[in-house]
Amino acid sequence: MYQWTHWIVVSAYLESKFKLAIDIGAHVGAITRYMLPNFETVVAIEPNPLVRPFIRKNCSGTDHLDRLKVVPYMVGKGKGERGKLVLARKENTGSGAVIPDPEGQEIVSLDTIAKDFSDVDLIKIDTQEDASDILEGGWNTITTHLPVMWIEGPPGCPAEATVRKMGASIGARLGNNFFAGFNSKCRKGRFVSYPD
């Protein structure tokens, strides 16, 4: 199961304190499940109403459901945009993308979601589309809390450039996922900068 391999990589980057994790694009909670025993609070963000109920169900065996908060937001820049979730393939509920729709749901910024959070240690973004809008909408949260970031995106994707603009370094890459963080917050020497 690839999620376990990714979890091992991200946990190697984290400091010993595991206060709060934000799982953007939680889908059915496969990764959320690994986060729950390790963090005091896990915020699972999933806009798809078809799969959102499965997050809690799939995490029920962890004995830490009291740490889980599931929210239905669409996350982006959050500058008055509205959108709707469209599945690329109906048989794959994890293949959705948010597209602009003036009649759709409000798109909320990560900064709005996290404005009252303290100690954000991990942000995972798995949204099947470029994460740059989400990162830009979370600029204050990310540059204030300096979390480890686990982001879905192919090599050279725009999200990598956004992360670097924030002052973070790109670490390991596994398939279409990369890990980024701030050397001052991560275990010493874990992140090395790769060339643009």
**pLDDT tens per residue, range 100-151:** 899 999 999 999 999 999 889 999 999 877 799 999 999 999 999 999 999 9
Which pLDDT tens digit goes with each residue over 39-65? Answer: 999 999 999 999 999 999 999 987 899
Query: 29 near 59, Cβ under 8 Å?
Result: yes
What per-residue confidence (pLDDT) applies to 72?
95
| For residues 155-182, average pLDDT | 90
For residue 196, what pLDDT band results from cuts at 50, 70 and 90? very low
Spatial separation of the C-alpha atoms in residues 86 and 185, rounded to whole Å: 37
Residue type for position 130:
D
Look at residue 38 and tell me whether its pLDDT is greater than 50.
yes
Domain 2-181: which CATH class?
alpha beta
For residue 193, what pLDDT band results from cuts at 50, 70 and 90? very low
Residues 78, 120, 100, CA angle at the centre, nearest 5°?
A: 20
| For residues 153-163, average pLDDT | 93
Complete edge-to-edge strand list for the sheet that includes strand 41-45: 68-71, 41-45, 20-24, 120-125, 148-152, 177-181, 169-174
List, in sequence order, every residue forming a beta bridge with 98; answer none if it has no partner: 85
Hey, what are 184's tokens? 């001052």
Residue with tokens 């009291």: 66
Burial grade of 148 (CB within 10 A; 0-12, 13-18, 19 or more): buried
Model pTM score: 0.91
Look at residue 67 and tell me whether its pLDDT is greater than 50.
yes
**Integer CA distances (angstroms), 102 to 11, 83, 84, 106, in order:** 39, 7, 9, 9
Sequence spans of domains, the chain: 2-181
In angstroms and rounded to an integer, the radius of gyration of the C-alpha atoms of the chain is 16
Hey, what are 183's tokens? 């050397």
What per-residue confidence (pLDDT) applies to 62?
79
Look at residue 190 and tell me whether its pLDDT is greater than 60.
no
